[in-house]
Amino acid sequence: MAPKSRASLGGATLLEPELTAAAFSPAFTLMYAALAIVIGLAGAGIGWMVRGRWRASRHARQRAVANATDALTGLMVREAFEAALADALDTERGASRVGALLYAGLDGFRLVNEGHGHAHGDKVLAAVARQLREVCGARVPMCRMAGDEFALWLNADVETCELLARRVAEALSGGVALDGQRYAAGISVGVALFPKHGGSAQLIARAAAAMRSVKRAGGGSHALFDPRIETEQREELRIAQDLRQAIARKELELVYQPKIDASSLQVTAVEALLRWKHPALGMVSPARFIPIAEKHGLIESIGNWVLAAALHQAAAWRKAGLRMRVAINVSGYQMRQDDFARRLEAGLRSHRLQPNRFTCEITESVAMEDTQVTRRAFARLGKIGVHVSIDDFGIGHSSLATLRRLPAQELKIDRAFIVDMVHDADARAIVEAVLTMARTLGLRVVAEGVETPAQRDALVQLGCDELQGYLFAKPMSARAIALWAMDAPTSLAQSFRPSLFKETIMTGAPTEILKR
């Protein structure tokens, strides 16, 4: 018999009628059905085996995470803590639970790493974890979230949770004892309540937000989450976004407040103060936007702009005959930059300015860090020969030994003591003590925030060197400074005291300055 022929359509082979009919015979159908059942059972078995192995693998992974601990502190790792918290709270069994998520972050831990090295910082973290365990107890679920941040869950009422948060803050307020030494390691604690503040993921985020609000307020305490914190965070993000464009849009500006010699009442210097004129918010205080700039990595560009603008203005004043000392505020971030002193020296050289006519004002808290980084920065500033001033003096924890090592020429007493010194014996005693210490160290003393004649007279009597405050002048533009120095017959000049500039010799009308 001749072989069966095939017909093709578009690449698909079609069987002839005889073969097609045979394919649907009863015997063939039964055989096909049996084969299908066998294949189906085999597939089900394979699927069951695969699913079983997957479940086993998943459970193994979960057990591995649940048993994982942080190698440094011995606490739970973040993944284990989050999984346990979610299982406890985000199921029907957890619906009736009440409790709180405590999120704790060390204050100023960066200084430990910078001053003693990361290996020593790790030892401090381990000591902090042990201290947290002692305060909270062994049964409280606790983890190291990241870096120097910790979290714990307390299944208790609000009062008990707040009490524990307060005890945690108090326990670390005195630092951590390690190898016979005590290291500063204050702690800020944020508290989020369940179920009031959400499920597991929201609790962690909101407790962390509350912790950051404590840090912004100075640290060393605790706070319950408040919805206003999230509003503030949204505003902070908006400010950070706008601040990125502020320099390009020319929204930043410097104003200048004079410093007055206490014995002659003549202007000896001006302090450059940063201002931000926001197109919608108006004038934004530096106290508001500088911390945001530091947090969001914007302080470097802003600090560079301030330095360049102040150097340019100082050169313009020198050219016009106003040979005043110009001061700028230097942030802790700038002090920790290895090339800050080098850039400052290059700027002074390019503008042909004498280093001793330029002042860097550094807050007492930054000056007292006494880490390797800050010591190097101070040494470089001293080598350049710039005038160094310790700002906000009296509100921190100064060390006389540290002050002796700093190449500073000046202390600025914080205005909080100046405001009260006339009527408060303790405030006056602090001012006297600062003046006595400064004379011993050969430092000049500036009193800031002088607003009344009584304050001025008391400071002069005590032997203060320089005065600064609204009694003499508010911060003003560079143009106003020039007009004031010229005794210009304008309402602007007459609103101040131009006689204070009598010893500042003008070599000619500062046309270039007046155009600014």
| Predicted local distance difference test score (pLDDT) of residue 384 | 92
Q: Minimal CA–CA distance to 235: which of 288, 271, 162?
A: 288
| Predicted local distance difference test score (pLDDT) of residue 267 | 84
Q: Print burial letters for 426-460: b (CB count within 10 Å at least 16), e (below 16).
A: ebbebbeebbebbeeeebbbbbbbbeeeebbebbe
Which residues, other chains included, contact 92 with Cβ-Cβ below 8 Å and sequence gap of 6+?
A: none
| Predicted local distance difference test score (pLDDT) of residue 396 | 63
Which residues, other chains included, contact 76 with Cβ-Cβ below 8 Å and sequence gap of 6+?
A: 68, 69, 70, 84, 141, 142, 143, 144
Query: Mean pLDDT for each 10-residue chunk of the chain (516 residues)?
Result: 39 34 47 53 50 47 59 92 86 67 89 76 89 90 92 91 92 80 83 91 92 88 91 88 92 94 87 94 90 88 94 91 88 84 94 92 82 80 91 72 82 91 91 91 93 94 94 90 62 38 40 41
For residue 282, report the phi and psi dihedrals to the nearest 5 degrees: 80, -145
Q: How far is CA 141 from the centre of its chain?
A: 28
| Predicted local distance difference test score (pLDDT) of residue 487 | 53
DSSP 3-state of 141: coil
| Predicted local distance difference test score (pLDDT) of residue 180 | 73
How do strand 187-194 and strand 252-261 relate by DSSP bridges? unpaired
| Predicted local distance difference test score (pLDDT) of residue 493 | 38
Which tokens hold the place of 182?
């005590």
| Predicted local distance difference test score (pLDDT) of residue 466 | 94
